A and B are shown apart, each in its own frame.
Chain A
Amino acid sequence: MGKRHICCGLSHLGQGGNMIKQFVMDKEGIFVDQMMPQFQLARAYVPFQAYVERWPPMVGLERGTIFPELYRPYVPYRK
Chain B
Amino acid sequence: MHEEQLRLLKEIMAVDFSLVELNLFLDTHPCDQRALMDFNNLCCQSKALRRQYEQCYGPLMACSDAPPRIPWGWVETPWPWQIDYGRS
A residues sitting closer than 8 Å to B (CB atoms) are: 48-49, 51, 54, 57-58, 60-61, 65-67
Contact = CB atoms under 8 A, between A and B. Distances in A.
Given A49-B29, A60-B17, A65-B21, A54 B38 contact: yes
Residue of B15, B21, B29 ringed by the most chain A CB atoms within 10 A:
B21
Given A66-B22, A67-B21, A51 B34 contact: yes
Interface of B: 10-11, 13-15, 17-18, 21-22, 25, 28-29, 32, 34-35, 38, 42
Contacts of B10: 58, 61
Contact of B11 (A54, A58, A65, A67): A58
Nearest to A57: B14
B21 to A, nearest CB: 5
Given A51-B32, A61-B18, 13 more contacts: A49-B25, A49-B28, A49-B29, A51-B34, A54-B22, A57-B18, A57-B42, A58-B10, A58-B11, A60-B17, A61-B10, A65-B21, A66-B18
Contacts of A67: 21, 25
Contacts of B28: 48-49
A63 B18 CA distance: 11
B32 A58 contact: no
Nearest to A62: B14
Contacts of A57: 11, 14-15, 17-18, 42
A58 B29 CA distance: 24
A60 B14 contact: yes
Contacts of B22: 54, 66
